[in-house]
């Protein structure tokens, strides 16, 4: 009898051992399968949960933590949060009712700000290389007039500087994006491109303004479009080509901390212009690639600057748009630095005066953020 019981105990131990081995095997397979999971996948998984849900959870631990957030944001009811979690439907976004019903619609789903609608959402431009290769007349007089009328005022030397270090690198992946007011006779927004008068004017201005605030900056004026033409590549390879430029700059300058890619939007003037204190300014918006390792930190950077811009100059920043590979490039070279910004300044109809005014404010806010961040890290 004792012998039989010992056999049963051994069998039980053996079975338990097999179960434990099986559990470890499953765990290993799961970890191996998930090792390439990116922050984008996690973001997609948690998307049905609103920010309110997380803030309400944090509030349970610290009542004061969420107080500032709910002062500025409407508190969702538990029923709406439950509906959002179980059905992926949001009451404040009618698209959530149909995005699972229309084939392919969810692939292009992106949050919309309160000032935008479906017609003004940013999208990748579909420009032919033949169109980009064309030489166009440039209104040099208009450029000089804007530069003269927006000549920087004399200011005392900045109280803090980067001591000669070039910590900001400004470049232009879509180097020939231009503006209709600078191109006489051009009325088609799809033709707003020029190798001579383009977004590099804004990068030049941003560099100058950052330096006024004590931040050493470097601007690269490489004509990415010309490189694409030379290599017989399509416009979709712009970020691949500009990536080489950025990587080379980072090799030669170890002080680079911030990467700033300046673009212009393809939307028309009513969507890209705001009036502040009687003057018109070009609106900006930020694009963050969801499919890169620095997604969270870059999103925080863009959101912080967006919020500060609108706090001081209401309505000047449209939003922070998060884009995956399904909606665009998805990376935008932002994996190269946790302090990467892709900024769309104005649209095809904005004047250089409006653009310069906005760049000046943008430099002010970026500088404030830089010095606050430097103080915290030191």
Query: Is residue 235's pLDDT more than 80?
Result: yes
- Output DSSP code: residue 107: G
Residues 6+ apart with CB under 8 A from 94: none
Strand ranges, E, within the chain: 166-171, 216-219, 258-263, 273-276, 279-282, 284-289, 317-323, 340-345
Six-digit token string for 321: 């748009």
> Residue 170's closest CA among 218, 202, 211, 209?
218
At residue 74, what are phi and psi to the nearest 5 degrees? -65, 135
Pick the CATH number of 129-377 from 3.40.350.10, 3.40.50.800, 3.40.630.40, 1.10.150.20: 3.40.630.40
Residue 288: strand pairing partners: 322
Six-digit token string for 59: 């509030």
- More confident site: 112 or 17: 17
Give the C-alpha separation, 351 to 190, whole Å.
Answer: 17
pLDDT in tens, 30-77: 666 555 444 445 555 555 555 556 666 666 666 655 565 555 555 566
- Kindly state the percentage of the chain with pLDDT values over 90: 57
Give the C-alpha separation, 202 to 347, whole Å.
Answer: 13
pTM, two decimal places: 0.73
Average pLDDT over residues 162-176: 96
pLDDT in tens, 100-126: 555 555 555 555 544 555 555 665 666
**Tokens 């600078």, residue?**
182
Average pLDDT over residues 196-217: 96
Domain ranges of the chain: 2-36, 41-108, 129-377
Cβ(347)–Cβ(181) under 8 Å?
no
Give the CA count within 13 Å in the CB-facing half-sphere of 43: 15
pLDDT on residue 23:
84
């Amino acid at each position: 009898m004792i012998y039989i019981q010992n056999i049963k105990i051994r069998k039980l131990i053996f079975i338990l051992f097999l179960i434990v081995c099986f559990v470890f095997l499953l765990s290993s397979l799961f970890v191996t399968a998930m090792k390439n999971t990116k922050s984008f996948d996690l973001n997609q998984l948690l998307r049905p949960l609103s920010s309110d849900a997380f803030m309400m959870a944090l509030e349970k631990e610290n009542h004061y933590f969420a107080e500032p957030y709910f002062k500025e944001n409407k508190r969702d009811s538990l029923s709406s949060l439950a509906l959002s979690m179980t059905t992926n439907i949001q009451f404040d976004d009618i698209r959530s009712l149909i995005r699972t019903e229309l084939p392919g619609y969810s692939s292009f789903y992106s949050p919309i700000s309160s000032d935008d609608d479906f017609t003004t959402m940013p999208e990748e431009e579909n420009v032919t290389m033949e169109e980009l290769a064309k030489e166009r007349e440039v209104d040099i007089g208009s450029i000089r007039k804007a530069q003269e009328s927006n000549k920087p005022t004399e200011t005392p030397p900045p109280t803090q500087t980067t001591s000669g270090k070039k910590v900001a690198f400004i470049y232009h992946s879509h180097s020939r994006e231009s503006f209709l007011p600078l191109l006489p006779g051009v009325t088609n927004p799809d033709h707003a491109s020029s190798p001579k008068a383009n977004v590099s004017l804004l990068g030049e201005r941003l560099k100058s303004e950052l330096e006024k605030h004590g931040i050493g900056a470097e601007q690269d004026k490489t004509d990415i479009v010309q490189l694409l033409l030379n290599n017989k590549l399509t416009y979709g390879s712009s970020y691949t080509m500009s990536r080489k430029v950025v990587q080379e700059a980072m090799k030669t300058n170890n002080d680079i901390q911030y990467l700033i890619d300046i673009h212009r939007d393809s939307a028309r003037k009513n969507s890209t212009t705001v009036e502040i204190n009687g003057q018109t300014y070009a609106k900006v918006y930020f694009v963050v690639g969801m499919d890169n390792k620095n997604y969270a930190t870059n999103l925080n950077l863009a959101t912080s600057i967006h919020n500060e811009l609108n706090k001081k100059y209401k309505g000047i920043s449209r939003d922070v748009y998060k884009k995956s590979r399904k909606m665009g490039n998805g990376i935008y070279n932002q994996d190269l630095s946790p302090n990467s910004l892709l900024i769309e300044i104005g649209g095809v109809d904005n004047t250089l005066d409006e653009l310069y005014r906005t760049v000046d404010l943008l430099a002010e806010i970026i500088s404030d953020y830089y010095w606050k961040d430097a103080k915290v890290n030191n």
